[in-house]
Chains A and B, each alone.
Chain A
Amino acid sequence: MTTHGQDVRALNAATAAEAGGPPQEKFLDIAGLEKIYPSREGGITALKNVDLKIGASEFVSLLGPSGCGKSTLLRCIAGLEQPTSGSIRLLHKEVTGPPEDMGMVFQRDVLLDWLTVARNILLPSKVRRLPAAQWMPKVKALLDLIGLAGYENRYPWELSGGMRQRVAICRALLLNPSLLLMDEPFGALDAMTRDELNLELQRLWLADAKTVLFVTHSISEAVFLSDRVIVMSRSPGRVVENVVVDLPRPRTLAMRETPEFSRYVSQIRRIFEGFGILRGSHARE
């Protein structure tokens, strides 16, 4: 695992040297991916012909309406679903099951109610039979970083929804994975908490840039967080556009009202409109 970590850091440096250009190093390489769910009528195509290359330390959002296969794509990358055809290669290694060097955050925080906050965060180390004492300092550091210092011995049911999702993020980050997958992690939160967590996530990412794949159906959330937004459309689920977001970091909430930010948002909205999504009721059949 150590050598793996160094590998990633080397890749990070390589990507940084590219400064703005498209990432050459293939941290994650998806080619010709297709996912068909069996059904009585011969199968529902959830993903068709997805080609995607993602560099180390990139923050990439998968954006699209519900049913466009963005979650399916993420689950294929996580090794939770087997693609029907095509390949997913993580650091030149074919993904066949959940990769070792990966953390994942789900829409529901799935904290275990019977464990304290610290024990919940320690879960990935417990599953791998690593000594808890050795990882406690990391738990404290993560809680500090995310604004929950001193919450180690609280129980999940004592926390608000936003706090719980922060703990879930800490859990995903415990073993310092180079790839972080997030499946609509803030979808169930209210707008203000969501903004707050967007800022926290950006702060975490700036402090320690991991490759993040972030599934969302909010255009402004995608633009705010990402280096690159992969726009997807449905029936069948496919990638229709690749929007590079060139806004300075750290980004602030006020930035969302600037013309530059709005330009990205309307650019993406127009893509959806072109596919008959977001056109209002008159456009529907």
Chain B
Amino acid sequence: MPENNDNAALRRGIHVILVVVGFFGVWQLGVMVAKPPNYILPDPISITREIASAPLWYLGHAMRTMGATLAGFAVALLVGVLSAIGIVYSRVLENTLYTLLVALNSVPKIALAPLFIIWMGTGLVSKIAISFLIALFAIVVDTVLGLRSVDPDATDLFRVMRGNSLQSLLWLRMPNALPYLFAGSKVAISLALVGAIAGEFVASQAGLGYVILSAQGAFETTRVFAAIVLLGILGTILFFIVDLTERFVCPWHVSHRARDRGERGGV
């Protein structure tokens, strides 16, 4: 069974690499055949050369964006989990905070980005704030769901053992909510990146969003694409950091998923 899972994972990995390589291959061939102007569609080899010409410069900007994303995500994680606990345990917070969050979620949060620039300036803090705000909702909603979806028998078990509510929060509800928290985090980390870029688009002096915007002004399309490719890599890395943490923190859940997949695959 574990051997099957390993094989399946390996096959999936090869699959992904083939598709990505194929995508860039077709792109390269297409550009070589159709020869569009460079400012419309550069080819992957030129984009790679562009990145290689100033790797440290690109790395600096990527780090800046990654920093804003991670900081925003971290604050969202902290505030989100604490809010979720409050919402689950307090009727008042559920009726006020949760209602407000759900209502505000219908406002596209990117629309708030200019406001944050006004309030907090064009530096890193405004990017972190936008990143935080856009990531928060997914974390709160999923954590609330996780804290609530405890088996009633398990709640009874803690009552029978005469455990207090802090014990049942720490030893039952929180671990039970972890898989939900990670599902929310995977969405939230991608959204946090969107938030950081949105902030950089509005006003900034650094970051991949700034690179894209300034290159666009100069019609340096190759540089725009270079930043986009780096953003894609950055997003993938951030997602896998969350995924790896999940494997480490709640292996029981990952194994459930693997088994479910195995069963579905077997039928």
Task: Say yes or no for A204: interface residue by CB 8 A criterion.
Answer: no
In the complex, which residues of chain A have a beta carbon less than 8 angstroms from the beta carbon of B253? 113
Interface residues of B in 137-179 (CB under 8 A from A): 151, 153-154, 156-163, 167, 171-172, 175, 178
In the complex, which residues of chain B have a beta carbon less than 8 angstroms from the beta carbon of A135? none
Q: Which of A78, A104, A123, A157 contacts B252 (CB 8 A)?
A: A157
Closest to B155 in A: A110
| Contact B252–A110 (Cβ < 8 Å) | no
Task: Say yes or no for B105: interface residue by CB 8 A criterion.
Answer: no
| Contact A98–B162 (Cβ < 8 Å) | yes
Bound state CA distance, A28 and B89, in angstroms?
A: 36
| Contact A114–B151 (Cβ < 8 Å) | no
Add 11 more A-B contacts to A108-B151, A112-B171, A127-B171 (CB < 8 A): A80-B160, A98-B159, A104-B160, A107-B153, A110-B151, A112-B175, A113-B253, A127-B162, A156-B252, A157-B255, A157-B259
| Contact B167–A127 (Cβ < 8 Å) | yes
In the complex, which residues of chain B have a beta carbon less than 8 angstroms from the beta carbon of A155? 251-252
| Contact B252–A102 (Cβ < 8 Å) | no
Task: Say yes or no for A205: interface residue by CB 8 A criterion.
Answer: no
Interface residues of A in 96-143 (CB under 8 A from B): 97-98, 100, 102-104, 106-108, 110, 112-114, 123-124, 126-128
Bound state CA distance, A108 and B157, in angstroms?
A: 11
In the complex, which residues of chain B have a beta carbon less than 8 angstroms from the beta carbon of A124? 161
| Contact B153–A100 (Cβ < 8 Å) | no
Bound state CA distance, A262 and B100, in angstroms?
A: 65
Bound state CA distance, A75 and B157, in angstroms?
A: 11
| Contact A127–B158 (Cβ < 8 Å) | yes
Task: Say yes or no for B187: interface residue by CB 8 A criterion.
Answer: no
Interface centre among B160, B172, B175, B256 (most CB of A within 10 A): B160
| Contact B175–A127 (Cβ < 8 Å) | no
Q: How far is the CB of A36 from chain B (nearest CB, A)?
A: 21
- What are 21 A-B pairs at a CB distance below 8 A? A75-B156, A80-B156, A80-B160, A100-B162, A102-B160, A104-B156, A106-B156, A106-B157, A108-B153, A110-B151, A110-B154, A112-B154, A112-B171, A114-B178, A114-B250, A126-B171, A127-B158, A127-B162, A128-B162, A155-B252, A157-B252
In the complex, which residues of chain A have a beta carbon less than 8 angstroms from the beta carbon of B154? 110, 112
Bound state CA distance, A43 and B65, in angstroms?
A: 61
Bound state CA distance, A1 and B156, in angstroms?
A: 22
Interface residues of B in 232-267 (CB under 8 A from A): 250-253, 255-256, 259
Q: How far is the CB of A107 from chain B (nearest CB, A)?
A: 7
Bound state CA distance, A10 and B12, in angstroms?
A: 66
Closest to A172 in B: B160
Bound state CA distance, A108 and B233, in angstroms?
A: 44
| Contact B153–A106 (Cβ < 8 Å) | yes
Bound state CA distance, A155 and B253, in angstroms?
A: 12
Q: How far is the CB of B250 from chain A (nearest CB, A)?
A: 7
| Contact A110–B153 (Cβ < 8 Å) | yes
| Contact B161–A127 (Cβ < 8 Å) | yes
Closest to B250 in A: A114
Interface centre among B163, B250, B253, B256 (most CB of A within 10 A): B163
Bound state CA distance, A106 and B158, in angstroms?
A: 12
Q: How far is the CB of B166 from chain A (nearest CB, A)?
A: 11
| Contact B161–A123 (Cβ < 8 Å) | yes
| Contact A113–B252 (Cβ < 8 Å) | yes
Q: Which of A98, A112, A157 contacts B160 (CB 8 A)?
A: A98
Interface residues of A in 184-236 (CB under 8 A from B): none
Closest to A78 in B: B160
Q: How far is the CB of A9 from chain B (nearest CB, A)?
A: 23
Bound state CA distance, A104 and B161, in angstroms?
A: 9
In the complex, which residues of chain A have a beta carbon less than 8 angstroms from the beta carbon of B159? 79-80, 98
In the complex, which residues of chain A have a beta carbon less than 8 angstroms from the beta carbon of B156? 75, 78, 80, 104, 106
Closest to A126 in B: B171
In the complex, which residues of chain B have a beta carbon less than 8 angstroms from the beta carbon of A128? 161-162
In the complex, which residues of chain A have a beta carbon less than 8 angstroms from the beta carbon of B158? 127
Bound state CA distance, A112 and B151, in angstroms?
A: 10
